Amino acid sequence: MTNKGGKGSIPKQNKTMKGDMIQEYRHKPKKALGQHFLTDHSIVRRIVSEAGITEGTHVLEVGPGHGILTKALLDVGAIVTAVEIDRDLIEPLQKRFGDSIRLIKKDILRLNWDDLDMPEGSAIVANLPFQITSPFIFKAIAYRHLFPNVTVMIQKEVAERIISGPGTKAYGILSLKAQYYYNTSYLFTVPPYVFSPAPKVESAVIKLEPRLDAPVLDNPQQFWNLVEVSFRNRRKMLRVNLKSILPKEKVDILTETGPIELTRRGETLNEEEFLLLYSAVAALF
């Protein structure tokens, strides 16, 4: 489910506050890692507040960078596990925070999240590199039992995809899957000038909270495989896409007797309609 309320932006007067930490690190951002370091302390405080982090909350931070968000998390008493891929940032982070955080030098997408050894009910709070956003969100969904609450800053375009609905250009499997398992909220827009270096596009902070009324699937893998196939060729009708997983004769049966018109495209189906289509497909076997 999606909440588009509260959508705001950072006022122009909140100019970037680079602080001493960036000069201290003398670290050149790496384009290959999509590094854009947040420099505005008011924004990180707002992120921590919106995430609902309080004393004793276990938090996974991805890409701590120069540690501006890390410091804000520690200031409210969070227990922080930070995963950083850039080896050049490990020593400065260790020097700055010491034993006050658990620092892991790994690629978060390659890491087995079970090895993080974090308790169920932990939170994710991060300024994510743009290029890992979609795979990261899919992985967070898979580990939602460990991390039921996710508050992240991401590219605005992807944030809009996550909250979008059927019939829109942005709607896709990421939208449907995120909204299936979470109540998704677009919190506020973040302008490029509060980063170093400034990205070419706007960012946004979103929050994912557990959806308590999510329908129970008897076979989640089959359901999401059906969804993926339905979105695979966006310009093609469902009856064409479904032939990649169903024999022609079963597609013909669905066309004649199924609950969904197979002349439609996958991007026009909402959650309820995908569930109806899934039940109809499952009944053929």
Q: Could you read off the pLDDT of 17-33 as tens digits, one per residue?
A: 344 444 455 667 656 55
Whether the link from the prior residue into 197 is cis, omega within 30° of 0, is: yes
State the maximum Cα–Cα separation within the chain, in Å, rounded to a whole number. 68
CATH, domain range 220-282: 1.10.8.100
**What whole-number distance in Å separates Cα of residue 67 and Cα of residue 86?**
13
pLDDT along the chain (285 residues), means of 10: 61 42 56 75 97 98 96 98 94 96 97 96 96 96 97 97 96 98 98 92 97 95 97 93 95 96 97 98 92
pLDDT at residue 156, as a whole number = 97
How far apart are the C-alpha atoms of 22 and 84, rounded to whole Å?
16
For residue 126, what are the CA distances in angstroms to 129, 184, 195, 228, 270? 9, 16, 14, 27, 29
Q: Is 122 left (phi over 0), alpha (psi -120 to 50) or beta?
A: beta
Please report the pLDDT score of residue 19 as a whole number.
41
Q: What pLDDT score was predicted for residue 234?
A: 86
Q: Where in the chain is the domain with CATH 1.10.8.100?
A: 220-282
DSSP per position, 52-101: T--TT-EEEEE--TTSHHHHHHHHTT-EEEEEE--HHHHHHHHHHHGGGS
pLDDT at 104: 97
2-210 CATH: 3.40.50.150
Q: What pLDDT, on the 0 to 100 scale, is given for residue 243?
A: 95
Which residues of the chain does CATH 3.40.50.150 include? 2-210
Contact yes or no for 175/271 (Cβ under 8 A): no
Distance CA 55, CA 58 (A): 9
How far is residue 215 from each of residues 17, 128, 144, 218, 280, measured CA to CA in Å? 45, 29, 15, 10, 16
Residue type, 7: K
β-pairing verdict for 37-38 and 195-196:
antiparallel
pLDDT for 56-94, tens place per residue? 999 999 999 999 999 999 999 999 999 999 998 999 999
